[in-house]
Amino acid sequence: MTFKEHWFCRNTILVLESQDADRHHISLSHKKRLPTWDEVKIVREKLCDNTKFYVMVLPPSKYYVNLHEYCFHLWEVKSEDEIEVWKQM
């Protein structure tokens, strides 16, 4: 797996971009706090295809992996069924 590293928002948000399980994956973090909604939006708009759906997954706690306290992940949605559900909301 290869990563592309990017810096956003005056070099305060570190972003790692990769392809995992055939999905575009964005990991964004700050050293001292969670990224803000505006920061997440900026990264999503700059690095993600605006025609595709992305989600932040919150699994059951037994599946949590916390390698960085202040990190969010965006995952590309591939399932047409999932995309249709989001379009209907």
Q: CB–CB of 79/29 below 8 Å?
A: no
Helix (H, G, I), strand (E, B) or coil at 42: helix
What are 7-27's pLDDT values in tens digits? 998 899 999 999 988 899 999
What mean pLDDT do residues 67-73 have? Answer: 91
- Position 38 scores a pLDDT of 95
* Amino acid, res. 30: H
Closest CA to 7 of 46, 36, 34, 37: 46
Q: Coil, strand, or helix at residue 33?
A: coil
Contact predicate 76/54, CB 8 Å: yes
CATH number at 71 reads 3.40.1720
Query: What is the model's pLDDT at position 2?
Result: 79
Q: How many domains does the chain have?
A: 1
Q: Which domain holds residue 14?
A: 4-88
| Residue 32 structure tokens | 């001292």
What percentage of the chain exceeds 90 in pLDDT? 65
